[in-house]
Structure 1
Amino acid sequence: MSEFPQATRDRYYADGVWDIDTIADLVARNAAAAPEAVAFHAGDATLTWREYDDLATRLAGAYALAGWQPGDLLAVLLTGGALTHVAYLAAQKAGLVTVGLSPRAGDAEITHLLRHTGAGALVTRSTHRGRPGEQIARAVGAPRHLVLDLVGSELLLAGDGVALPVPGLTEAAVAIEGRGLGPDELFFLNSTSGTTGLPKCVRQTMNVRKVFGPLAADAGAFGPDEVVLSALPAPYAFGLWSAHVVPAQYRYPTVLAAEFDPAETLRLVERHRVTVLAAVTSQFIMMLNSPEFAEYDLSSLRVLFTGGERVPYRRAMEFEERTGCAVLQFYGSNEAGPISLTRVDDGQQKRLSTAGRPVPGTRVRLFTPEGVPVESGPGQIATNGPGCTAGYFRDEAANRILFRPDGWLLTGDLGQLDEDGFLSVTGRTADFIIRGGHNVSALVVEEAVGGHPRVTQVAVVGMPDEVLGERVCAFVATRDGVELTLDDLRKHLADGGVSKVNWPERLVHLPVLPMGAGGKVDKPALRRLV
């Protein structure tokens, strides 16, 4: 059943931004046209398009023969690699909905997501991040536990400790005939990250996720021989489109690692002559900070797609200067899909200091706190377009907050449009420090502190204060690892003309800032420290 009303589907099909292709269709087409071309270079396997398609078909057949019914939900807990995408594609072919779990999800989060979604089983490798999958399944109360491993090019499958047969290709194809999910049906649930409280599940269809592909291809001026490296956790929107969808749409080989490591990512770029890198802001900064950065030949890189957090101008410019590639921002979210982006032919100032122009086919509005639209802002960013989710799964209260009554999806971001139509994200609706009744934007302070030449990472949070309610606390990592004093920072801010209301009142030095499940700075963890 479609996730969207017929009128919505008709509009986007007529506009040409949605079509009838499923991801399984795209992969099968690649397998027929270039069976021996590489689909994935990964630590667990290097798979051709034929092997990728065949393995997914056989696993889907195993699910069907084991009694799983179309519409059933499977929670998948896997680190990055070829097996992850085989598992996602197999579920689509068998008519099953994947609940994508963050590889770093803790037991409490997994328990909540299993209960909230009603997933019938937890899928893990035999060992997940050094811990037996069976132990995790018991700890989270999984109703069933499926163990999935890839040895060479052979799948191993077990259910609750009992080996399950993986059928041959012909038998599997018969078993799944007529079961595959359509492009407008629910195929994936990815949990929100970087928020406090229990995660929500975002409903995804294939057409919603496919919207990113043509936008990325146009913005990055893709050619026929691109090599993609996706450094993102696969279950989140950025990882899903960059590693699961776009390569299938354009038949590009994709380089994957089990988990992000800066030095390993640099090595993989050199080894596979990667041309398109997808990484959130924290990841490319960690690559820049790596002592190994200068040791590898990164000249193959043409484009870095980044975002997910504030992109610091100086560090993005440094990345461009040291690699020769163009740093492009893709602004959006799990819920909103793509909202705006920068392009290779945008000037560097616009490309690195804004979130780009709204993407074609997507409408953007800015609203005052009272809900009144304002022409160019500032205001809360709202969107309406073909990349927007149909809503959260089984959470009508959250959906009432996410969507205005008129159907516009509200982001948690504040922004404004300049005279050239470029969007700038100026803060978060909830990311303010209320100091003595005055709202201090964490984003504005981060921009100011991040301009110090020794600062490589910065995150700003509020710290409790008995008199003022909150004060401004900045966490930083430095280029040389030597502590930056608050006096040195304040002198830099004063010399730069930064208003004193945007000066930190406490400065905490860390070797590296903690990362959350989605690869972004873990601000809840920092708040706990203060």
Structure 2
Amino acid sequence: MPTTELATLPDWLEVHRRERPDAVAISGDGADVSYAELADDVARLAAGLAASGIGKNDVVAAQLPNGRAFVTAFLATAALGAIFQTLHMPYRSKELRYLIGHAGAKAVFALAAAGGASPASDILALKAELPTLEHVVGVGGAVDGTLSYAALLRSEPLRVETAAGPDDTYLVLYTSGTTAEPKGVPHSARAFLGNAFRSVAELEIGPDSRVLSVAALSHLYGLFTVHLALAAGATITLLPAFQPASFAQDLEALAPTHVFAAPAHFAPLVAESALTEAHLRSVEVLCLSGTTVPPPLAAAVDALLDDGAVIQLWGMSELQAGTFGRPQDPLETRIATAGRVSPRTELRIVAETGETAPAGVEGELEVRGPSVFAGYLNNPAETERAFTPDGWFRSGDLARIDQAGYLTLTGRTKELINRGGVKYNPVEVELIAITHQAVLHCAVVAYPDAVLGERACLCVEARPGQAITLDDIRTLLEARGVAKYKWPERLEILPNLPMTPTRKVMRGALAAMLITPKTQQG
């Protein structure tokens, strides 16, 4: 029996356990794990959690890397009808205190040791400040005061009917907080699993596919790949940690058919000509998403695929996959657009006048459909601001849609530069600046000015051994015919641009750095 659209994660897992027990469910984090073995692990962990007092509607958080434990904890939480909360690996006490407290998590999975620290111990130290937190589960070793993940996995399996239905909340994500405090985004299985179920065929994912997320599974983009794999009965292929030096070799060794990554994962390899056809021999579909994708980068990676295709995707924590390219789309649309709407999703572009914009005209992207969330967690004011009176979600993205329905993202409404009352989109400048041979990553950020209100600073992470000046960038912009009011008036050269776990530039952090910068100005 195949999976169905109106289902829960435990329903899907049971289908694969019963129909394809020996098929590989997880690969890449040590030994391969069959669907029968995964189902057994999930039943045992669920039993251990239930014995510890975890039940329906409790929030269970996880700060874990892309590994078998993450997937098992996710599915065991769902088996109990509890709500899974993801926490990104780089987060420390400040972020964790807010996120665990805001969601009201009752238990948290965390590594016993990582990078010379003990995340499980660090979260345990916050327990007195978090009234809902009862348990910390240490993964990968013993930590005094925590439950042992290994011991929980030795529990007698819990075989019960699914504790929650498709309309119950099973997941709470948090927005990335690149410019503001993260907001909680609850979702039902009907919303997100339905979105994934309807997408697998169009992404050409089947039972024999090996789906790899280079992005953290703790982020919506990474979690979407788990949903896709489970919808199809495919293999969840794991890369526990992204290491730039070994990434090309990791791709070759893991042999994924479908890769979901950010542009920043591939940009250094392409720049150094370190990526070859051999590294990507197994790849059928390679999706780039998370931030603006430079078309030359997408084209360069696509040219290395023997019999595959680069596509792009637009999604948000509030709706999962809103648009994506199809592998059979023309090359020019795959490398330059975020594709067409996902099944049953609707889009519109709204001009500054409030009217729906015609094809090809830029405006704010609004979306509605069955995967769109109902409202932010305990935040009615932000929920009210997020939706139009007629029920469309205001994405905050600037975009245009062509006559054929292909979406091109052009920026964020909050990222517009307002120079003396004249607003412009900095992405245009970024896409030109990134073509300079010395620029590895870049972002244009506003900084305050007493006369004009705002001016623009170009923040650059340079390629090793390369130098760049503000005049170099201005010469490049002049050659491309860019109006002078859009030219950056400062240049910051940074060792690394601050990025989220999904390799999206944290513009708020950059803006804070500009308060007392060491810059080139002119």
Q: TM-score, normalised by structure 2?
A: 0.89
Gaps of 5+ in 1: 1-16
Paired residue type of 1:261: Q
* Cα displacement (A) at 1:261: 2.0
Q: Which residue of 2 is the match for residue 149 of structure 1?
A: 139
Q: Secondary structure at the match of 2:234?
A: coil
* Cα displacement (A) at 1:200: 0.7
1:490-529 C-alpha deviation (Å, 9 max, x unpaired): 2222222222222222223334432213331222222222
Q: Which residue of 2 is the match for residue 3 of structure 1?
A: none
- Residues 294-309 of structure 1: pairs in structure 2 closer than 5 A: 294=276, 297-309=279-291
- Residues 302-317 of structure 1: pairs in structure 2 closer than 5 A: 302-317=284-299
Q: Which residue of 1 is the match for residue 518 of structure 2?
A: none
Q: Report the CA distance shift for 1:145/1:166 in structure 2 as closer, same or farther (over 3 A).
A: closer
2:108 and 2:472 map into 1 onto residues whose CA distance is: 51
CA contact (8 A) 1:267 1:296 kept: no
Q: Secondary structure at the match of 1:263?
A: coil
* Cα displacement (A) at 1:334: 0.9
Which of 408, 414, 427 aligns to 1:443? It is 427
2:240 and 2:488 map into 1 onto residues whose CA distance is: 37
- Residues 293-442 of structure 1: pairs in structure 2 closer than 5 A: 293-294=275-276, 297-324=279-306, 325-376=308-359, 377-442=361-426
Deviates more, 1:48-57 or 1:371-380: 371-380
Paired residue type of 2:347: V
- Residues 127-526 of structure 1: pairs in structure 2 closer than 5 A: 127-132=113-118, 133-139=120-126, 141-142=129-130, 143-149=133-139, 160=146, 166=152, 171-174=156-159, 177-178=160-161, 180-214=163-197, 216-222=199-205, 224-242=207-225, 244-289=226-271, 292-294=274-276, 297-324=279-306, 325-376=308-359, 377-479=361-463, 481-526=465-510
CA contact (8 A) 1:144 1:159 kept: no
Q: Report the CA distance shift for 1:68/1:357 in structure 2 as closer, same or farther (over 3 A).
A: closer
Q: Which residue of 2 is the match for residue 9 of structure 1?
A: none
Q: Report the CA distance shift for 1:468/1:86 in structure 2 as closer, same or farther (over 3 A).
A: same
CA contact (8 A) 1:145 1:160 kept: yes
* Cα displacement (A) at 1:90: 0.4
Paired residue type of 1:49: Y
Which of 110, 119, 123 aligns to 2:96? It is 110
1:356 and 1:83 map into 2 onto residues whose CA distance is: 33
CA contact (8 A) 1:44 1:83 kept: no
* Cα displacement (A) at 1:282: 2.1
1:304 and 1:263 map into 2 onto residues whose CA distance is: 20
Q: Secondary structure at the match of 1:451?
A: coil
Q: Report the CA distance shift for 1:212/1:483 in structure 2 as closer, same or farther (over 3 A).
A: farther
Paired residue type of 2:249: R
* Cα displacement (A) at 1:378: 2.4
1:79-98 C-alpha deviation (Å, 9 max, x unpaired): 22110010010001112111
Q: Which residue of 1 is the match for residue 21 of structure 2?
A: 35
* Cα displacement (A) at 1:186: 0.4
1:52 and 1:164 map into 2 onto residues whose CA distance is: 14
CA contact (8 A) 1:158 1:164 kept: no
* Cα displacement (A) at 1:226: 2.0
CA contact (8 A) 2:442 2:460 kept: yes
2:172 and 2:42 map into 1 onto residues whose CA distance is: 19
Q: Secondary structure at the match of 2:466?
A: coil
Q: Report the CA distance shift for 1:422/1:476 in structure 2 as closer, same or farther (over 3 A).
A: same
Q: Which residue of 2 is the match for residue 13 of structure 1?
A: none
Q: Secondary structure at the match of 1:173?
A: coil
1:54 and 1:193 map into 2 onto residues whose CA distance is: 34
Q: Secondary structure at the match of 1:40?
A: strand
Q: Secondary structure at the match of 2:230?
A: helix
CA contact (8 A) 1:450 1:456 kept: yes
Gaps of 5+ in 2: 515-522
1:31 and 1:495 map into 2 onto residues whose CA distance is: 60
2:167 and 2:149 map into 1 onto residues whose CA distance is: 34
Q: Secondary structure at the match of 2:185?
A: strand
1:194 and 1:116 map into 2 onto residues whose CA distance is: 14
2:288 and 2:144 map into 1 onto residues whose CA distance is: 38
Deviates more, 1:207-216 or 1:489-498: 207-216
Please give the root-mean-square deviation of Cα atoms over the aligned residues, in Å. 2.6
Q: Which residue of 2 is the match for residue 55 of structure 1?
A: 41
* Cα displacement (A) at 1:150: 5.5
* Cα displacement (A) at 1:220: 3.3
2:104 and 2:80 map into 1 onto residues whose CA distance is: 18
2:148 and 2:331 map into 1 onto residues whose CA distance is: 57
Paired residue type of 1:149: V
Q: Which residue of 2 is the match for residue 86 of structure 1?
A: 72
Paired residue type of 2:491: L
CA contact (8 A) 1:448 1:498 kept: no
1:125 aligns with 2:108: no
* Cα displacement (A) at 1:245: 1.1
Paired residue type of 1:225: D
Paired residue type of 2:157: A
1:23-56 C-alpha deviation (Å, 9 max, x unpaired): 2122222222332332222336532212211111
* Cα displacement (A) at 1:309: 0.9
1:421 and 1:55 map into 2 onto residues whose CA distance is: 44
1:433-475 C-alpha deviation (Å, 9 max, x unpaired): 2112211212122122223344332211112323222221112
2:150 and 2:234 map into 1 onto residues whose CA distance is: 33
2:311 and 2:375 map into 1 onto residues whose CA distance is: 28
* Cα displacement (A) at 1:263: 3.4
1:205-242 C-alpha deviation (Å, 9 max, x unpaired): 22322244355434433455322211111122111111
* Cα displacement (A) at 1:110: 1.1
* Cα displacement (A) at 1:366: 1.8
* Cα displacement (A) at 1:370: 4.9
Q: Report the CA distance shift for 1:255/1:507 in structure 2 as closer, same or farther (over 3 A).
A: same
1:95-142 C-alpha deviation (Å, 9 max, x unpaired): 211121111222112111222122123221222443221233214634
1:386-426 C-alpha deviation (Å, 9 max, x unpaired): 22112211111111111112211110112222222222222
1:487 and 1:301 map into 2 onto residues whose CA distance is: 41
1:473 and 1:135 map into 2 onto residues whose CA distance is: 37
Deviates more, 1:198-207 or 1:30-39: 30-39
1:101 aligns with 2:87: yes
